[in-house]
Structure 1
Amino acid sequence: MGTEFNDALASQYDYRGLREAFAAPALYQAFLDVEKAVALAQGELGMIPSASATVIAGHCRYECLDMQRLEVSYRTTRHPLMPLINELLRLCGPEHGGYVHWGITTQNVIQTGLLLVAKRAQTVLDGLFADILRHLGRHARNHANTVMAARTHYRHAVPITFGFKVAVWIEEFLQAADRLKEAEKRAFVVMTGGAVGCFSALGREGPAFQSRVAALLGMGEMAIPSRAIRTHMCEYVNALSLAASVCHKIAEEVYQSASEEYGELHEGRIEGTIGSSTMPQKINPILCYGIVANSNRLYSCAGMLMATAHRPFESDGSANQMFEDGLAEVINAISEILVRTELLVRDLHVDPARMRANLDLSHGSIFGEYAMMQLGKTLGKHRGHELVHDAAIAAADGKSPFLEELAHLPGGAQLASDIEGRLEKGSISGICAEYAQYYGSLAADIAEAIPTAEARNINVYLRADR
């Protein structure tokens, strides 16, 4: 179904202004903000009369524009920026209008403006990131000792706690935040190098001018402002894609874990929600499949931009169009993902009883590694592996339950009794609870600064705990 229909379905979500980030008023204002910074910087440096700079800057407001005049001009010029330049020239008058857009080119304004919009949107995305981490921190601490089955290749592996699983999600989000912060330094940059990036119109004053524009806009600047350099934007989009993959993973796990066969995790239920027009009992994971769908959409955008970044020579119109349209699509997709992920983890329902019941389905064989290591103390690890493997295969073939098979091994009776006690008490091996408590506290108390990789090392917590 079309965009209008999907927009109606998503109206229940709080996008925090992200849906308007690339709307026409925001884009026009961003382009005007660039033109304003250009004029002010050139006025300060004596490149244009300071009086003209002041007049130009004063008219760089969206509400000053005659939109009907702009629409007519677009049909006439068939150019992405000239109508706006002509409108600004008209507003400033003949005395000052001649200094509008002095020594720069269209892509300088459009690319810088789009990245300025993305930078503004990223501030909102950062807020969503922080909220997601706080919600996950709460789950990690609340479920530090909630026992469940870890699964590798979709099969039971060893017992863990749900808090540990959440701690893993937190670490991936923190890694994603690290990557984004690094990518932002290179992505959110001003490009005002003119026709091909060598300041052909402004000469040796050009670099100082660009630095001042960057400062006025609160952005970085390209070392060589070439219109042919696109990889910094790809890096940012790829960092967003990797962040989306963490949301995607959580959504996939909840999606599957919510099925009747698992029943361990469920989306929060909103009163009145309908799952199916013909199956009234259905409660569908609508947040999850929205995250999955938009994640795949974002991955496609990232691939598209990567496949375009190599376009030759000093500029390429097809590449420009791909990146200009693609950046808006990317911010839209990551917004859809993070808004849904924040709701998903905020209201996530955890069923500890079902987790425990599912763990018991393996009748103790989930402690196979533990059994192997205990036998390995006297028989060697490899011999212990062989014996426990044989016991597990015999149990799977229906000869007798795993713990009975284990009891036949040397020292097995005591080991089987030990595992039965662990099952009864919900006791597990490893340091799941420690990871959950530590990462839970890191995420629940998240501030503007992301904890460094060194600060996230569990040894910090273990040394303090001693």
Structure 2
Amino acid sequence: MSMENLRPDTLFSRDALWQSWLDVEAALAQTQAELGIIPADAAQAISEAAHLDKLDRDALARDISYTMAPILSLTRFLSKAAGPAGDYVHWGATTQNVMQTGRILLIRRADTEIRGALSGAFETLATLATDHAETFMPGRTNRQHALPITFGFKVASWIEELSRAVERLDAGANRLFALPFGGAVGAMHAFGGSGREVNQRLAARLGLRDLLVPGRTINDLFADYILQLSLLAMTIERIASEIYLLMTQEINELAEVLDKGTVGSSTMPHKVNPKFVVRVLAEAAELRGLAGSALETGRSSHEGDAATNQLLSRVLDRAVPLGWTLAEGFAHLLGRIRVLPENMAANAELSGGAMSTENLMMVLSPHTGRAAAHDLIHHALDHTDGMPIVESLSQNPTIRAHLDEGAIRSALDPAQYCGDSASIALQASELANRLSTQLR
């Protein structure tokens, strides 16, 4: 199975893992031939044989079930396929060297796909931020109306947080994509003084960095990467949760664009439930929850520990494909969002002008002092006697002693009090476009 044909459900499949191990064995042979450790023609024969379609998969599976040592069985079959050159297969290597390196190569492939999906997400977010830089809506703190903002400003907060998630993922990937190839315990015993050069050249051949101690207990690097995926899931979950909440019928500021014929409920004909956001939320919660298990994998013992390695494989088998699926699902969700500006504006009116009383306070403050202005308006809001807030405050005699009615009404217009929302949205759009290009 080629790297290009991998998908989340086949990333760590039997065939994908076997081929990744064969790729490592071929690269090792080629590197050792360059250094004169094994004959060049042997490396050529090993490389030509290191393709899964040249091995008997069923027989290999049976042998592994017997030996319970996958790399031992694989190298036996590879040796047979390589003919006389098979004597040089797996020269100086150990099982965990090959298995860990193979997984790293597969994770790197998934990482590329995750970045591609995030590129699409940033591209969509950039468009949303630009198109809605001035789309007026209520800002909310503690789920109550706070100050007026624009939807583009809200998107800007998503963009910047997602950019931090990408920075963390970058750092985790840079640490993980290293070669753990140092023989039985990591000190390169079997390479006759050429171990460091073997390690460096093999790392370069595979596009990895080299480690000072290329041992078998590098689980912290895998755990680190899983944690970055979990943090990415946390950010995606936050964004998707806001989207889901804004889809609530009573709020109805966002909606999903669904295909014709989509059914929301088998029993309630009127319902058209959100479809895409709920899957993203479920996958994000699952991936975020793997952080604890990832931390358990780093507690390996001495120079090698099969128990933690088996746990690590299980966590990786779930976390990395899930990160790939989640990133794709998130990008698809963003492309399905429909913004409802008229509902945003209508919801902003629910506070009756109270949402902009901070602005009135700031206009009044030069006349009374800020604290006095705050208390004056707060007290006035407690005594509106059922009148609309704008009407009540514009007629309040204490406030009118300092401001005329037109100034009060103007200060209470929420659409005119969105701060730097629009400019922040446009700057965030530029950031998102840059990141989209970098991740592509």
TM-score, structure 2 normalization: 0.93
Kept after mapping to 2: 8 A contact 1:16/1:124: no
Aligned match for 1:124, one of 113, 116, 119? 113
The residue identity in structure 2 corresponding to 1:33 is D
The residue identity in structure 2 corresponding to 1:126 is R
In structure 1, the residue matched to 2:354 is 365
Kept after mapping to 2: 8 A contact 1:22/1:117: yes
The residue identity in structure 1 corresponding to 2:389 is F
In structure 2, the residue matched to 1:27 is 17
Cα shift at 1:437: 1.4
Q: Does 1:99 align with 2:81?
A: no
Question: In structure 1, how many angstroms separate the alpha carbons of the residues matched to 2:401 and 2:152?
Answer: 31
Q: Secondary structure at the match of 1:225?
A: coil
Kept after mapping to 1: 8 A contact 2:356/2:411: no
Q: Deviations over 1:200-253 (max 9, x none)?
A: 222531121111111111122222112122222222111112222222112111
Question: In structure 2, how many angstroms separate the alpha carbons of the residues matched to 1:16 and 1:386?
Answer: 64
Question: In structure 1, how many angstroms separate the alpha carbons of the residues matched to 2:404 and 2:241?
Answer: 36
In structure 2, the residue matched to 1:305 is 294
Aligned match for 1:44, one of 27, 34, 52? 34
Cα shift at 1:399: 4.9
Q: Secondary structure at the match of 2:214?
A: coil
Query: Aligned pair in 2 of structure 1 residues 47, 391: CA closer, same or farther (>3 Å)?
Result: farther
Question: In structure 1, how many angstroms separate the alpha carbons of the residues matched to 2:429 and 2:403?
Answer: 36
Q: Deviations over 1:143-185 (max 9, x none)?
A: 0110000111100110000001111111112111111112211
Q: Does 1:67 align with 2:50?
A: no
Q: Deviations over 1:331-381 (max 9, x none)?
A: 221122112111111121000000000010000111122122222222222
In structure 2, the residue matched to 1:279 is 268
Alignment of 1:149-168 (within 5 A): 149-168=138-157
Question: In structure 2, how many angstroms separate the alpha carbons of the residues matched to 1:312 and 1:243?
Answer: 29
Kept after mapping to 2: 8 A contact 1:394/1:400: no
Q: Secondary structure at the match of 1:151?
A: strand
Query: Aligned pair in 2 of structure 1 residues 219, 312: CA closer, same or farther (>3 Å)?
Result: same
Query: Which consecutive unaligned segments of at least 5 residues does structure 2 have?
Result: none
In structure 1, the residue matched to 2:340 is 351
In structure 2, the residue matched to 1:296 is 285
Question: In structure 2, how many angstroms separate the alpha carbons of the residues matched to 1:341 and 1:412?
Answer: 54
Supply the RMSD in Å over aligned alpha carbons. 2.1
Query: Aligned pair in 2 of structure 1 residues 388, 205: CA closer, same or farther (>3 Å)?
Result: farther
Alignment of 1:150-299 (within 5 A): 150-299=139-288
Question: In structure 2, how many angstroms separate the alpha carbons of the residues matched to 1:222 and 1:415?
Answer: 73
The residue identity in structure 2 corresponding to 1:74 is I
Bigger shift: residues 149-158 or 363-372: 363-372
Kept after mapping to 2: 8 A contact 1:164/1:436: yes
The residue identity in structure 2 corresponding to 1:248 is E
The residue identity in structure 2 corresponding to 1:51 is D
Query: Aligned pair in 2 of structure 1 residues 382, 264: CA closer, same or farther (>3 Å)?
Result: same
Question: In structure 1, how many angstroms separate the alpha carbons of the residues matched to 2:250 and 2:412?
Answer: 21
Q: Does 1:402 align with 2:389?
A: yes
Question: In structure 2, how many angstroms separate the alpha carbons of the residues matched to 1:108 and 1:149?
Answer: 56
Question: In structure 1, how many angstroms separate the alpha carbons of the residues matched to 2:324 and 2:332?
Answer: 12
Kept after mapping to 2: 8 A contact 1:41/1:213: yes
Question: In structure 2, how many angstroms separate the alpha carbons of the residues matched to 1:187 and 1:360?
Answer: 51
Q: Secondary structure at the match of 1:98?
A: helix
Question: In structure 2, how many angstroms separate the alpha carbons of the residues matched to 1:338 and 1:302?
Answer: 17
Cα shift at 1:419: 5.7
Bigger shift: residues 428-437 or 200-209: 200-209
Question: In structure 2, how many angstroms separate the alpha carbons of the residues matched to 1:412 and 1:345?
Answer: 50
Question: In structure 2, how many angstroms separate the alpha carbons of the residues matched to 1:193 and 1:295?
Answer: 36
In structure 2, the residue matched to 1:5 is none
The residue identity in structure 1 corresponding to 2:50 is C
Query: Aligned pair in 2 of structure 1 residues 118, 16: CA closer, same or farther (>3 Å)?
Result: closer
In structure 1, the residue matched to 2:46 is 56
Cα shift at 1:269: 1.1
TM-score, structure 1 normalization: 0.88
Question: In structure 2, how many angstroms separate the alpha carbons of the residues matched to 1:287 and 1:29?
Answer: 34
Query: Aligned pair in 2 of structure 1 residues 311, 16: CA closer, same or farther (>3 Å)?
Result: closer
In structure 2, the residue matched to 1:12 is none
Q: Secondary structure at the match of 2:212?
A: coil
Question: In structure 1, how many angstroms separate the alpha carbons of the residues matched to 2:74 and 2:40?
Answer: 22
Cα shift at 1:423: 6.4
Question: In structure 2, how many angstroms separate the alpha carbons of the residues matched to 1:412 and 1:289?
Answer: 53
In structure 1, the residue matched to 2:432 is 443
The residue identity in structure 1 corresponding to 2:121 is I
Kept after mapping to 2: 8 A contact 1:196/1:227: yes
Question: In structure 1, how many angstroms separate the alpha carbons of the residues matched to 2:7 and 2:227?
Answer: 23
Question: In structure 1, how many angstroms separate the alpha carbons of the residues matched to 2:401 and 2:254?
Answer: 35
Question: In structure 1, how many angstroms separate the alpha carbons of the residues matched to 2:378 and 2:413?
Answer: 23
In structure 2, the residue matched to 1:324 is 313
Question: In structure 1, how many angstroms separate the alpha carbons of the residues matched to 2:75 and 2:125?
Answer: 48
Q: Secondary structure at the match of 2:149?
A: strand
In structure 2, the residue matched to 1:455 is none
Question: In structure 2, how many angstroms separate the alpha carbons of the residues matched to 1:43 and 1:16?
Answer: 30
Aligned match for 1:335, one of 324, 341, 364? 324
How many residues matched? Answer: 433
Q: Secondary structure at the match of 1:284?
A: coil
Q: Secondary structure at the match of 1:160?
A: strand
Cα shift at 1:447: 4.9
Q: Deviations over 1:41-99 (max 9, x none)?
A: 11111122222111111111121121111121022111232221111111112x32121
Query: Aligned pair in 2 of structure 1 residues 85, 370: CA closer, same or farther (>3 Å)?
Result: same
